[in-house]
Chains A and B, each alone.
Chain A
């Protein structure tokens, strides 16, 4: 079994894309005004990107990734697993005339499991009224439990679904094919600080509903570490 994993990230100097005209589901709490937050983004994704930011991997502020047609073809060629791709409406800034390239939203469906026991995750805040949960991660460098990983080339680990991880096999492919717009960080070098917190919300916000339900039923993701009443 592969034992080495990688975090995918935007290179420092690559301009990020911005979401255009987005609306979000509003989550309000009947007992605590401060729990107001944004849930799932509503509608299809459309972004504005500067031509210098449009690469094989194009990054939206907030850590979300778009991929080019070339990457989609490479993923097909190598049988890369753990993702779905959804077309995105792409715009260049108004002053730029040529049409922007085709891009796809990278929806990661691979499962890297609940964080490893060695990561020392604890539930530090839990609201029964609005189901707000906040976790602390004592040792983020030990986040991944290889035994909990489903073997997908692209995957997320709970409770950090905003970070995209890749298998060693995929990292080799990305390097070999010189895929642009990408930085590979060894998973133990993850930038999340010791004791860092995460409030991951619903898994359905991150992946297609059917897959999210399947994972939730199987692993109890949405109620992880929540005390039973």
Chain B
């Protein structure tokens, strides 16, 4: 999902970008470095394009940590480096709009807070699985 999100963001910013056609095959599975490369390309393209030509939603992008930094010590102890999972997301959906990731009563960090309180001693595997479940519930982040 993180790869698909980055891929779609880059496609919206720069439909002709060569990175969009260079990697994908039906049997290929994206790795974290592929997502990192795509994010870097998004940041490069985004900084280069005049903001008034960009789709309104993409004029300002935020770095989102799907594994929140508030829990970085726990995540690192589980073998997860939060910085390896960052995403570039529209600022509105990140922290401004009602229903954004960090707004509202069931915000992203609260979901993790409850997960940690409930799960107790989750494994790396289960935490990644939980992240995937959380991401599937974000309406604007289609797979």
Nearest CB on B from A58, distance (A): 14
Chain B, range 72-129, C-beta contacts under 8 Å to A: 73-74, 77-79, 105, 109, 113-114, 116-126
B contacts with A: majority SS: helix
CB distance from B126 to the nearest CB of A (A): 7
Counting contact residues on chain B (CB < 8 A from A), the size range is 20 to 34
- Docked-complex contact B73 and A22, CB < 8 angstroms: yes
- B17 CB–A CB distance under 8 Å: no
A201 lies within 8 A of B120 (CB): yes
Q: Give the CA-CA distance A196 to B114 in the complex, in Å.
A: 11
Contact string, A25-50, partner B, CB cutoff 8 A, digits 1/0? Answer: 01100000011111100000000000
- Nearest-CB distance from A212 to chain B (Å)? 14
Our pick among A19, A62, A134 for the contact of B126 (Cβ within 8 Å) is A134
Q: Find chain B residues with CB under 8 A from A201 CB.
A: 120-121
Cross-interface CB contact of B113 among A16, A26, A34, A200, cutoff 8 Å: A16
A34 B123 Cβ-Cβ under 8 A = yes
Nearest Cβ on chain A to B69's Cβ, whole angstroms = 9
Cβ-closest chain A residue relative to B127: A37
**What are the residues of chain A within 8 A of B113 when measuring CB–CB?**
16, 61-63
Contact B74 A38 (CB under 8 A): yes
- Chain A residue nearest to B80 (CB atoms) is A36
Which residues of B are found within 8 Å of A23, using beta-carbon distances?
77
Whether B118 and A35, one on each chain, are in contact in the complex, defined by CB atoms closer than 8 angstroms, is: no
CB nearest to B120 among chain A residues: A200
Number of chain A residues close to chain B: CB under 8 A: 35
B121 touches A37 (CB 8 A): yes
Interface code A78-111, partner B: CB below 8 Å = 1, 0 otherwise?
0000000000000000000000000000000000
Most chain A beta-carbon contacts within 10 A, residue among B71, B79, B105, B123: B123
Separation in Å of the B14 CB from the closest CB of chain A?
Answer: 37
B125 touches A62 (CB 8 A): no
* A219 interfacial contact with B, CB 8 Å: no
Additional A-B contact list (11), CB under 8 Å, known A200-B120, A200-B121, A202-B121: A16-B70, A24-B73, A34-B123, A36-B79, A37-B124, A61-B70, A161-B120, A162-B117, A191-B114, A192-B118, A205-B121
Q: Which residues of A are in contact with B by a Cβ distance under 8 Å?
A: 12, 16, 18-19, 22-24, 26-27, 34-39, 61-63, 132, 134, 159-163, 191-192, 196-202, 205
